[in-house]
A and B are shown apart, each in its own frame.
Chain A
């Protein structure tokens, strides 16, 4: 019986982990949906956003190492700290500025180029942003605390122990991540469906040329989409950064989003969520049932195997648009 409850506990935790993966995948979907670009830099955007948030929160002087090396000074901090909410807003503003600069300095010059060129540009952008984050905020691991609780939910543990005689482990951070992801998806869907800018974004996603012909500014839409993707990256960065500190390995969470995208489809916001949940649950249950028989550590590769299996039967992913190109 305990084994069954344990499997249920693994399943629940898999769902929660899936939400964390979906948070990263959402940023990819937004940019791909609006511009057809697979943004290789999405993981680094999450890292950059989290680094900037901690830097602002702790009153860290940006580029302090460079300034100190050039002028022989010893400045590190401004001497103040910024409340979490204000720091998040300021980081959001930095992400908008970054989106503007990306459009101005990179994307604008590549209008009309093949998607692979834009993809290559995002690879360059990823390396640039990683280096910029390092130079701006330093390579040290940073503690991120925006007031999100972490650790076992004793309420759930006690309640399930009373009901089933087995206390379930659910991390409070995962519960918050689920709530935040639900709000985020609702806000994104609402924005896309009910606002003028959202409709313009969907128009650009459907047909660039047609959207341009009715006076929609492609450049504005790109800045907007990259800003929203930057904000989603900030949310993902906050969640993952709270979990294990803000450090450069944070950019590797993008690797967890890839199978989610393959499974859910590159163009669907609900697809990213469902894909995340399927991958989260799938990898955890596989590790639980099969892992011990084959030496464990199956999660990294199993997510890709699962996504590939889906690809065989449904190449566009669960919710992706079927693209048929005729010559």
Chain B
């Protein structure tokens, strides 16, 4: 009995562990806990895109992609445990979908030589490839988001925001505090006044903050929230009859789960995005044919086409394109994390390439280099139509104000380099 049991255990472990020849891209997901509703959709999109590549193309460059999933519950300690548990399984890259976990992993990936990809989140100054050799955060970061929001408001106000009052409602965490310096710089430049309103996690109770907003009557509210904080904030804004068209969320406050619980009163709410919305892209037909219909979709495919699903899918697409580039540069299909880093640094996802991939005009062009790990930072605005229960894109991709952001990135990354004893690379 014992040898049989041992054989079974060994066979089980072999089946569970990725084959060494495969490309291993762990999915650090969170399907449980307070943020599970958000994490599930993102994780599904991430999984399904790699399943599509495996089923349709036999992987990338002939190599199958393994996507072992590890549950972090959006908990930093668990996230680090996931990283430690998977880093020796041939993992090439990590995308933890948590700024807290990202901050913990940044020093670790530099030692272990793994790529850390944090699209739209994480440490903003990770954009500086001279200091953060292993970190990539294209196509946009938190500071880009803040700047694009202000540019949008400038457009709405004929280029003049002087005298306007803008309130920043933010998740009282490393993530939520990210845009403050950028917005302060922009306030100084454009002459608007900025009030900062923190909300402690999880953020179910926000009465005081919204009473303050009701009293101060800001012209616009910008929100950097996540999880229940988003739904509660949109509900409270509706309760005090704050005009939804003057309420703008960052991309992490702009998914269906944020507005649906509020119902019709969320109509007109706006949010930034760095990718397209809806299912009107050819890639979704391919997902249907190769992934959903054969029953291979993550969690049965119930979230296909949602904002967070699309974002997870887009992250997988960027990673797969970087893998493809790495294979091309190295001349081998079984690449190492170092080669993947090189692939990222040579990445150029042009509009034509996006069209070939079945996602025309889905995202901005992503052209990275040794020193620019964050791309152009372009983002666009979407608006919620409560009756149709759909997001509509209402602006074109817009470049952020690099005059404000670039010095901040240089300052923050240089401070990190000094603190961590890193000599910036020559790029």
A interface list, Cβ under 8 A from B: 6, 9-10, 13-14, 17, 20, 65, 68-69, 72, 74, 76, 130-131, 134, 139-143, 145, 150-152, 169, 171, 240, 243-245, 247-253, 256, 283-284, 287-288, 291, 295-297, 299-300
B interface list, Cβ under 8 A from A: 31-37, 40, 172, 196-200, 202, 204-205, 207-209, 211-212, 214-215, 227-228, 231-232, 235, 238-241, 257, 260-261, 263, 265, 295, 299-300, 302
Most buried by B among A72, A141, A250, A291: A141
Which residue of chain B has its CB nearest to the CB of A17? B207
Query: Do A284 and B261 touch across chains, with their CB atoms under 8 A apart?
Result: no
User: How far, in Å, is B68 (CB) from chain A's closest CB?
Assistant: 18
Query: Do A143 and B239 touch across chains, with their CB atoms under 8 A apart?
Result: no
Query: Do B207 and A284 touch across chains, with their CB atoms under 8 A apart?
Result: yes
Which residue of chain B has its CB nearest to the CB of A301? B200
Cα A150 to Cα B241 with chains together (Å) = 12
Cα A249 to Cα B171 with chains together (Å) = 15
User: How far, in Å, is B39 (CB) from chain A's closest CB?
Assistant: 8
Residues of A within 8 A of B238 (CB): 151
Picked from B207, B231, B261, the residue with its CB within 8 Å of the CB of A13 is B207
Cα A296 to Cα B239 with chains together (Å) = 22
Query: Do A140 and B37 touch across chains, with their CB atoms under 8 A apart?
Result: yes
Cα A46 to Cα B202 with chains together (Å) = 17
Given contacts A134-B36, A291-B208, contact A299 B215 (CB under 8 A): no
Picked from A150, A252, A284, A295, the residue with its CB within 8 Å of the CB of B34 is A252
Residues of A within 8 A of B231 (CB): 141, 244-245, 247
Query: Do B208 and A244 touch across chains, with their CB atoms under 8 A apart?
Result: no
Residues of A within 8 A of B239 (CB): 150-152, 169, 171
Which residue of chain B has its CB nearest to the CB of A292? B212
Residues of B within 8 A of A9 (CB): 211
Cα A300 to Cα B202 with chains together (Å) = 10
Which residue of chain A has its CB nearest to the CB of B260? A143
Residues of A within 8 A of B199 (CB): 297
Q: Pick 6 A–B contacts, CB within 8 A, sort by A.
A: A76-B302, A139-B36, A141-B261, A152-B241, A169-B240, A247-B34
Picked from A141, A251, A299, the residue with its CB within 8 Å of the CB of B260 is A141
Picked from B261, B265, B300, the residue with its CB within 8 Å of the CB of A143 is B261
Query: Do A169 and B214 touch across chains, with their CB atoms under 8 A apart?
Result: yes
Interface contacts (Cβ under 8 Å), in number, total 115
Contacts A139-B36, A249-B227, A299-B205 known; list 20 others, CB within 8 Å.
A6-B211, A6-B215, A65-B300, A72-B295, A74-B300, A139-B31, A141-B37, A142-B261, A150-B235, A151-B239, A152-B240, A240-B204, A243-B232, A244-B235, A245-B257, A247-B34, A249-B204, A251-B34, A296-B172, A300-B200
Query: Do B208 and A252 touch across chains, with their CB atoms under 8 A apart?
Result: no
User: How far, in Å, is A208 (CB) from chain B's closest CB?
Assistant: 37
Cα A13 to Cα B211 with chains together (Å) = 9
Picked from A17, A143, A251, the residue with its CB within 8 Å of the CB of B263 is A143
Which residue of chain B has its CB nearest to the CB of A256? B205
Residues of A within 8 A of B205 (CB): 17, 20, 256, 299
Query: Do B34 and A249 touch across chains, with their CB atoms under 8 A apart?
Result: yes
Given contacts A10-B211, A150-B235, contact A297 B34 (CB under 8 A): no
Chain A contact residues: over half helix, strand or loop, or mixed? helix
User: How far, in Å, is B281 (CB) from chain A's closest CB?
Assistant: 23
Cα A253 to Cα B240 with chains together (Å) = 23
Residues of B within 8 A of A142 (CB): 261
Query: Do B260 and A297 touch across chains, with their CB atoms under 8 A apart?
Result: no
Residues of A within 8 A of B299 (CB): 65
User: How far, in Å, is B195 (CB) from chain A's closest CB?
Assistant: 9
Query: Do B200 and A245 touch across chains, with their CB atoms under 8 A apart?
Result: no
Residues of A within 8 A of B261 (CB): 141-143, 244-245
Cα A256 to Cα B302 with chains together (Å) = 34
Picked from A152, A244, A295, the residue with its CB within 8 Å of the CB of B228 is A244
Given contacts A65-B299, A244-B232, contact A297 B172 (CB under 8 A): yes
User: How far, in Å, is A178 (CB) from chain B's closest CB?
Assistant: 14
Cα A226 to Cα B36 with chains together (Å) = 28
Query: Do B33 and A169 touch across chains, with their CB atoms under 8 A apart?
Result: no
Residues of A within 8 A of B196 (CB): 296
Which residue of chain B has its CB nearest to the CB of A255? B202
Cα A251 to Cα B32 with chains together (Å) = 12
Residues of A within 8 A of B215 (CB): 6
Which residue of chain A has its CB nearest to the CB of B239? A151
User: How far, in Å, is B207 (CB) from chain A's closest CB?
Assistant: 5
Residues of A within 8 A of B212 (CB): 288
Residues of A within 8 A of B235 (CB): 150, 243-244
Query: Do A247 and B37 touch across chains, with their CB atoms under 8 A apart?
Result: yes
Picked from A151, A169, A244, the residue with its CB within 8 Å of the CB of B211 is A169
Which residue of chain A has its CB nearest to the CB of B301? A74
Given contacts A65-B300, A141-B260, A248-B37, contact A297 B198 (CB under 8 A): yes
Cα A142 to Cα B239 with chains together (Å) = 19
Cα A295 to Cα B235 with chains together (Å) = 24
Residues of B within 8 A of A250 (CB): 204
Cα A140 to Cα B261 with chains together (Å) = 11
Residues of A within 8 A of B31 (CB): 139
Which residue of chain B has its CB nearest to the CB of A127? B32
Cα A179 to Cα B295 with chains together (Å) = 49
Cα A34 to Cα B35 with chains together (Å) = 34
Residues of B within 8 A of A248 (CB): 32-34, 36-37
Given contacts A65-B300, A141-B260, A143-B263, contact A10 B208 (CB under 8 A): yes
- Closest 6 A/B residue pairs (Cβ): A245-B261, A249-B34, A297-B198, A249-B228, A300-B200, A139-B36
Residues of A within 8 A of B202 (CB): 249, 252
Cα A243 to Cα B233 with chains together (Å) = 10
Which residue of chain A has its CB nearest to the CB of B201? A300
Residues of A within 8 A of B208 (CB): 10, 13, 283-284, 287-288, 291, 299
Cα A142 to Cα B36 with chains together (Å) = 13
Picked from B204, B241, B260, B295, the residue with its CB within 8 Å of the CB of A252 is B204
Residues of B within 8 A of A140 (CB): 37, 40, 257
Which residue of chain B has its CB nearest to the CB of A174? B207
Residues of B within 8 A of A14 (CB): 207
Most buried by A among B33, B172, B204: B204
Residues of B within 8 A of A65 (CB): 299-300
Cα A41 to Cα B133 with chains together (Å) = 45
Cα A130 to Cα B294 with chains together (Å) = 31
Query: Do B300 and A68 touch across chains, with their CB atoms under 8 A apart?
Result: yes
Query: Do B300 and A69 touch across chains, with their CB atoms under 8 A apart?
Result: yes
